[in-house]
Amino acid sequence: MTRDNTRLYGAVAAAVLLAGAGGFALSALINRAAAPAEEDPHGEEAGHAEGGWMVKLTPQQASAAGVAVVTVSRGGAGDLRLTGRVEAAPSARAAVAAPVSGAVVRVLVAPGTNVEAGGGLVLIRSAEGAAVRAESVAAGAEAEAARAALAREERLFKAGVTARQDFEAARAAAARASAEAVAARAKVAAAGAPEASGETVVRSPIGGVVTALQVAPGGFVAQGGAVAEVANPANVEVVFNAPAEAAAKLRVGAPLKVIGPDGSEAGAVIVGIAPLAQGATGAAVVRARPSGGRLTPGAAVSAAIATEAGGYPTAPSEAVQTVAGTPVVFVAEAGGFRAQPVTPGRSGAGYTQIIAGLKGGERIAGRGAFVLKAELAKGEAGHGEH
């Protein structure tokens, strides 16, 4: 092995040690693959003097080493690349207010607690709530008495004892009392369904995590005052600002691929396209709802949106590595990752066209591909020493 090769493998091995900081020791076995080099889409062999190489890793080992597997885009010539941010969906956030004013008797949850929709947050005691409940009880009693009076007047009217106008008056009184009872019950519901004592449980309208509490036992909260905030971190949307030329090519219902900050992928569907308020520029805010994967609110993401058919496959630029002077990508297989020779084309916005060597749809190492390259170099160095 030449002195230059020794320096090269030493430098790459040092990079692997730095990448593995934090206690992870990558134990990969490297074997030369028996399969011959694949042919490119144009009928020419993808040149690789050494043939295929395999870096043997389990999915768990690859993930621990920081290797993220991504899917090669099919026909990426017409793909749009957008950057955006993960946000909680409008229905995933709730600012809970007190339905009536009163003293805080007990706080039922703490920040970080998971609650279901309708779950109790705070117990308050309210004189206003007690009055509302009493009014509802009284209105119900009056409605019952009016119905009884109507029944009596109806019997007398049919027996010819009373006049029609008395019967009609009783029927109107019963209808009025019934309507007042319904309104009183609605008022009780709006007040949080207080008990006769005036105790009311303030409940969460959505399921999620309690992110903030604005009250404490012994305090007082006014009607409409803030009590707590609840958010559902699993219910998120991805929001992009699309320039005019990109917005014109998008449509609601179109699928896209969201790439997280760690290189992980999630499918999504466009659910809304709204023009930006600042002038008639043609730019738009694009909202997409993920259909898979796990995205964290606040995370910066990018998206690949196919707008045209045909063209070359595209891959993240960091997925393309150079081994022994040959550009390769690492294709995920059952036993690990196989170094596949490719011919890269134009690059931009973090992606590279693959002119030869891939057909699209392959699963390859994206973020962390350099770790596999370094392991491959370590294996080469080991063979050379023997």
Measured CA distances, 289 to 234, 236, 245, 294 (Å): 11, 7, 22, 12
* Whole-number Å distance between alpha carbons of 271 and 237: 9
Confidence at residue 303, expressed as pLDDT on a 0 to 100 scale? 81
Confidence at residue 306, expressed as pLDDT on a 0 to 100 scale? 60
CB atoms within 10 A of CB 255: 12
Could you tell me which of 346, 349, 348, 340 has the C-alpha nearest to residue 369? Answer: 340
Q: Mind listing the pLDDT tens digit for each residue in 48-84?
A: 334 457 788 777 777 787 888 887 876 554 467 788 8
**Any idea which architecture 28-88+236-368 has in CATH?**
Beta Barrel (2.40)
Helix spans in 159-270 (H): 164-190, 244-247
Please report, as a single letter, which amino acid is at residue 170: A
* Whole-number Å distance between alpha carbons of 327 and 76: 19
The CATH T-level fold of domain 92-125+200-231 is OB fold (Dihydrolipoamide Acetyltransferase, E2P) (2.40.50)
Laid out side by side, the sheet with 314-316 consists of 314-316, 351-356, 343-348
Instruction: Give Dmax (Cα) for the chain.
Output: 124
Bridge partners (DSSP) of residue 277 are: none
Instruction: Mark the ranges of the chain whose per-residue pLDDT is less than 50.
Output: 1-51, 77-78, 385-386
Judge whether 75 and 306 are in contact, CB under 8 Å: yes
Instruction: Tell me the CATH number for domain 127-190.
Output: 1.10.287
Residue spans per domain, the chain = 28-88+236-368, 92-125+200-231, 127-190
SS percent in the chain: helix, strand, coil, step 5: 30, 35, 35
* Whole-number Å distance between alpha carbons of 293 and 236: 11
Confidence at residue 308, expressed as pLDDT on a 0 to 100 scale? 54
Domains 92-125+200-231 and 127-190 share a fold: no
Bridge partners (DSSP) of residue 212 are: 229
Bridge partners (DSSP) of residue 93 are: 231
* Whole-number Å distance between alpha carbons of 95 and 89: 14
* Whole-number Å distance between alpha carbons of 227 and 99: 10
Model confidence pTM above 0.75: no
Confidence at residue 40, expressed as pLDDT on a 0 to 100 scale? 40
Bridge partners (DSSP) of residue 382 are: none
Judge whether 289 and 89 are in contact, CB under 8 Å: yes
Q: Length of the chain, please?
A: 386
Judge whether 72 and 373 are in contact, CB under 8 Å: no
